[in-house]
Chains A and B, each alone.
Chain A
Amino acid sequence: MKTLVWVEHDGKTVKDATLSAVTAAGQIGEVHLLVAGHGVDAVAAEAAKIAGVGKVHVADDAAYDHALAENVAPLVVALMADHDAFVAPATTTAKNIAPRVAAMLDVMQISEILSVESADTFTRPIYAGNAIATVQSSDAKKVITVRGTAFAKAATEGGAGTIEAVASTGDAGLSTFAGAEIAKSERPELTSAKIIVSGGRALASSEQFHALIDPLADKLGAGVGASRAAVDAGYAPNDYQVGQTGKIVAPEVYVAVGISGAIQHLAGMKDSKVIVAINKDEDAPIFQVADIGLVGDLFKIVPELTSKL
């Protein structure tokens, strides 16, 4: 079995999500990588060093600059003539591309796998993580996305992949990139942070969210997350959202502040190693999954906690 792994990158460096996908792909077969983009020599060189990597296919063309699915999918389909599985991290970029590839190959995608049972059998969460299904694929070629938090990251050193240029499939002419607003943050990226402090609707305003959550996160060297309610109310930007429809995280410690614990939120964080909950409602569902709970007024508790750490 030969697998082709989508390398998630920002044009400069390989993103962590790729490393989990490499681990999953290694459990299926021989690992080849695809680096698609424009001016991505540095990314390709970094990718070739990932432990266990064979060939690194590099497609360098302005058409791949923003990873538009319409342009990238035909490239992947062309490379799939020589591969048995396409494996991608379950990032928004790859979730956009992989199903388009699957349809063009006439195969069913297996989304967000949690484990590889065999080359054709995988486990994946359904119903917001309230059930785990084991599924077997009858398709000749597999298209798979990988939940990053379920697989260890491959080592970024020790590999000796060979870099090979692949011909561009060009611009499909269906879409153009018109701009991006990427939130700037000095804090650790949410999906790879070891500690996360997350705020909910109880923070009551954007000012209080930042005044209370940010200093605590800084003290702990933590990433900052939010519940959907906090995002919808405008207390935090939407890329902070943790849950079924936001990011899936599994840090060492997850501190939920003023979050009730709706099933959609739990879907995004219940695999965290230790969950700490601070909430004034002692019946809040979050306490059913919390390892350490503190019932009380977060406006008193959080500043006190920050000062005592």
Chain B
Amino acid sequence: MKVLVPVKRVLDYNVKPRVKADGTGVDLANVKMSMNPFDEIAVEEAIRLKDRAGVTEIVVVSIGEQKSQETLRTALAMGADRAILVVSESKVEPLGVAKILAKIVEEEKPDLVILGKQAIDDDNNQTGQMLAGLLNWGQGTFASKVEIADGKAVVTREVDGGSETESLTLPAIITTDLRLNEPRYASLPNIMKAKSKPMASKTPADFGVDVTPRLTTLKVVEPAKRTAGIKVADVDALVGKLKEMGVTK
């Protein structure tokens, strides 16, 4: 069984984003970038399925600037077998990403595509569902548990009131939620080994996909700041404040 795992290079989740003064976006110059945390979980799950469900090959793919190859090397060091880098210096929206991934799926014919449920930069939560729609495959989104057996993927999903289980006919799309697994760290020998694993380089044009954005960002601003609050000395003062606000009688 072959698994395809798309990964995205994003601003590290510990870094507080700074909005550019000219309102064109978030400042990404000289800040730490990392693999999107949900994608780390996707890579980890694919690796674990090697032992559990007879996965024979894991192909990782990233679409974005040249530097996304660092993100792919990280995935290779975790345990992926080979990588495809689709270089685009301009931003590619989820719809464009899904279209490129659909073409890669046609070529690679994986049995399963595992994506993160959302990227922590654009917070869109769209790409996996879009890819499933384009391919007309089943989708198991927000997965907290995955079992593969008899040509089916049984996916437990995190939903608003609790959890839900769905059975999908393979091939299928899965998107990962935080509780699916705890991603491993790449060891130094594996980081060294990852340097010699194959990485193909492509462009959106190679796939005949038009990635012209459909959404134009007119401006990006900081959210309204909260006014500074007060600190109270003890519980009685807190109760007093709460009563003042009418929270309690």
Contacts and interface: CB of A to CB of B under 8 A. Distances in A.
Interface string A255-299: 000000001100000100011100000100001011111111000
A246 B130 CA distance: 21
B188 interface: no
B220 A131 contact: yes
B208 interface: no
B162 A135 contact: no
B223 A130 contact: yes
B159 interface: yes
Contacts of B167: 175-176, 178
B231 A126 contact: no
B220 A126 contact: yes
B36 to A, nearest CB: 12
Interface in A155-207: 172-183, 191, 195
Contacts of A82: none
Interface stretch (B58-66, B77-85, B116-124): B116-124
Given A110-B215, A131-B222, A126 B138 contact: no
A139 interface: yes
Contacts of A293: 229-232
Most chain B C-beta atoms within 10 Å of own C-beta, residue among A93, A99, A292: A99
B179 interface: yes
A97 B118 CA distance: 15
Contact of A108 (B93, B129, B234, B239): B93
B123 A128 contact: yes
Contacts, number: 247
Interface residues of A, number: 89
B95 A102 contact: yes
A103 B247 CA distance: 46
Interface string A232-267: 100001110000110100001100000000011000
Interface string B122-165: 11111111111110111111101000000000100111111111
Contacts of A270: 223, 226
Given A136-B216, A174-B169, A308-B239, A180 B160 contact: no
Interface string B1-21: 000000000010100110100
Given A132-B222, A136-B216, A239 B161 contact: yes
A234 to B, nearest CB: 11
A220 interface: yes
A287 B226 CA distance: 11
B57 to A, nearest CB: 24
B178 interface: yes
Given A95-B125, A107-B214, A228-B178, A70 B139 contact: yes
Given A111-B126, A132-B223, A245-B117, 7 more contacts: A95-B125, A100-B129, A133-B219, A181-B163, A292-B230, A292-B238, A294-B235
Interface of A: 66, 68-70, 73, 91-93, 95-104, 106-112, 121, 125-139, 172-183, 191, 195, 219-220, 228, 231-232, 237-239, 244-245, 247, 252-253, 263-264, 270, 274-276, 282, 287, 289-296, 301, 304-305, 308-309
Interface of B: 11, 13, 16-17, 19, 25-26, 93-95, 98, 117-118, 120-134, 136-142, 144, 154, 157-169, 172, 177-179, 213-223, 226, 229-232, 234-239, 241-242, 245, 247-248
6 contacts: A95-B129, A96-B139, A135-B216, A183-B162, A282-B231, A305-B235
